[in-house]
């Protein structure tokens, strides 16, 4: 009887352990607005992080679900930037290492919207897979000719002590998150404010700009030196 109870207890425990992924992708399911289709490219920034204690051999596969014919798409990891003729590539990560997993859209002056999906999986454990979705100009909100250009930027960037936000008003909060999705700073936004990050470790962070409707206006990469 005791042996039976032990087996019943261990089954869900083993299922939980096996379900743990050896890597994380951040942020998940991005939506990016293309401010100016005449600019060379717009980038959706994301990262894959090895959260395990062993070296991982990962592979990503691209699936372009929709886009205008004139739009170009490139995937950039830490090895290379791959144009559309390459739809998959492998990367190796040591424990704690990260690789960018960015999607670059080149609209070539043409309005429209696109959805690109990246499947990322462990070559040694095919069941460990994550599919990330990148949406450019959400089709539910995109109206031809009615988008206002926004030249939103952080400065100085890279920074050592603080940064400010230029090109957008009516912000509620400014959030700083690390590459594994943990919030490390939260600021109440105000005009001409300086947001202190001198106490953060050196590295890359993502800054989320949140408006008064609690919607993320834009996510920008920040380099802390």
Whether pLDDT at 1 is above 90: no
- Together in a domain, 132 and 157: no
Q: What is the pLDDT of residue 93?
A: 93
Q: What is the pLDDT of residue 4?
A: 42
- Together in a domain, 171 and 122: no
Q: 43-85, pLDDT tens digit by residue?
A: 888 889 998 999 999 999 999 999 998 899 999 998 999 988 8
- Together in a domain, 127 and 157: no
* 141 confidence band (pLDDT: 50, 70, 90): very low
Query: By the 8 A CB rule, do 145 and 37 touch?
Result: no
- Together in a domain, 129 and 220: no
Backbone angles phi, psi at 154, to 5 degrees: -105, 140
| Distance (Å, whole) CA 112 – CA 37 | 9
| Distance (Å, whole) CA 90 – CA 79 | 9
Output the CA torsion sign for 46, 86, 22, 201.
Answer: negative
Q: What is the pLDDT of residue 180?
A: 67
In terms of average pLDDT, the best of 1-5, 106-110, 148-152 is 106-110
pLDDT average, residue stretch 9-14:
43
Q: 166-187, pLDDT tens digit by residue?
A: 888 789 999 998 876 788 999 9
- Together in a domain, 97 and 183: no
Q: What is the pLDDT of residue 121?
A: 94
User: Following DSSP, what letter does each residue of 187-218 receive, concatenated?
Assistant: EE--TT--EE-TTSPSEEEEEEEEETTS-EEE
Host H or E run for residue 8: helix 2-18
- Together in a domain, 124 and 47: yes
Q: 87-122, pLDDT tens digit by residue?
A: 999 999 999 888 889 999 999 888 888 999 999 999
Whether pLDDT at 196 is above 90: yes
Q: What is the pLDDT of residue 6?
A: 39
| Total domains present in the chain | 2
Choice among 7-16, 102-111, 144-153 with the minimum mean pLDDT = 7-16
- Position 93 in a domain: yes
Q: What is the pLDDT of residue 54?
A: 94
Whether pLDDT at 206 is above 60: yes
Whether pLDDT at 139 is above 80: no
The mean pLDDT of the chain is 82
**Which CATH number do you get for residue 180?**
2.60.40
Q: What is the pLDDT of residue 39?
A: 83
Q: What is the pLDDT of residue 11?
A: 42
Whether pLDDT at 18 is above 50: no
Q: What is the extent of the structural domain holding 181?
A: 153-224
Output the CA torsion sign for 115, 121, 123, 127.
Answer: negative
Q: Where is the domain boundary, 108, 136, 164? A: 136
């Amino acid at each position: 009887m005791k042996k039976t109870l032990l087996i019943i207890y261990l089954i869900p425990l083993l299922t939980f352990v096996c379900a743990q992924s050896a890597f994380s992708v951040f942020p998940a399911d991005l939506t990016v607005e293309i401010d100016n289709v005449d600019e060379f490219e717009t980038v959706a920034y994301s990262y894959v992080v090895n959260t395990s204690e062993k070296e991982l051999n990962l592979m990503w596969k691209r699936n372009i679900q929709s886009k205008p014919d004139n739009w170009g798409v490139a995937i950039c990891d830490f090895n290379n930037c791959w144009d559309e003729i390459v739809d998959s590539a492998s990367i190796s990560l040591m424990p704690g290492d990260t690789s960018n997993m960015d999607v670059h859209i080149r609209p070539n002056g043409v309005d429209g919207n696109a959805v690109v999906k990246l499947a990322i999986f462990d070559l040694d454990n095919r069941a460990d897979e994550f599919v990330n979705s990148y949406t450019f100009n959400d089709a539910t909100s995109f109206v031809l000719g009615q988008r206002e250009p926004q030249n939103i930027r952080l400065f100085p960037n890279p920074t050592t002590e603080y940064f400010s936000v230029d090109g957008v008003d009516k912000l509620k909060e400014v959030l700083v998150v690390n590459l594994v999705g943990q919030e490390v700073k939260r600021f109440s936004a105000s005009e001409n404010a300086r947001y202190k990050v001198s106490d953060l470790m050196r590295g890359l962070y993502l800054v989320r700009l949140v408006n008064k409707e609690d919607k993320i206006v834009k996510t920008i990469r920040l380099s802390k030196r």
